[in-house]
Structure 1
């Protein structure tokens, strides 16, 4: 029976030929299967995680593990950004509810709110200025990429820091950290 002949929605586990051979060899090596493991993760530099859901895990007497399953890339930076965005949205909803509850404000409170709003608009304008096209002539693209990766800043900030420190990556990274 080929993969095309399997009805859609059927609960069938198709094991590739090479994986089947590996499993047979593991049985010959007297590896013990460990039950009850629902997820195995491998962390790589840069918060990149490879996750295997519902794996088959085998352990040798020496403590070596063999893991079978489909590995999927799980980017923690993306997850953290999504969680922060969701938290900010919840805080905004709570603030809106609190503002609606206290509709009558004193003149001092209104002035403070206007100043705060003006500061936030200025920050957004500065962020917009930084996101535009950046002249990176005279700088190495690899250096810019390394600074962006290490400090998690925008390309514009990385180029600005490199120019400030005359192309010295170490000082630019220290300045942005």
Structure 2
């Protein structure tokens, strides 16, 4: 089929030979395709998010996921700077009462919502509990240091997560992230 024969507005997906082989192997392994996922994001340490829009997601019976799609880097710091510049350019005036009027002019795109959630999670220390000496008995100090390095949390929070997951570093990191 040539390019001229493709109907206008049709979604066309070009798959490489290696990707096709990988997809066939996944089907042989018994992984089931998960429908309805529009975006997958992976967060990395210094405020960098890898986003895959319209991914093909497969799940194993054990709960492991395989994601196919084009990953794009999304820098949160750059997004914050752009939003601050846009807000300054618009000259937002928020000195008035917010009750009783519509905010329909606000951006409701998935990217804006993600940025708002990131901003809120970075700005709200209400979740932080009292920091102090935490009982680290039974835990490897190297494991605690790795969790602190990977997630940028306090030592007390890393210890609580490790204890909750009986020393399982992977699950502790996943809970914190």
Which of the two has greater helix per residue? 1
Between 1 and 2, higher relative CO (CA 8 Å, sep ≥ 6) is seen in: 2
Range class of TM-score, shorter chain:
0.3 to 0.5
* Normalised TM-score (structure 1): 0.47
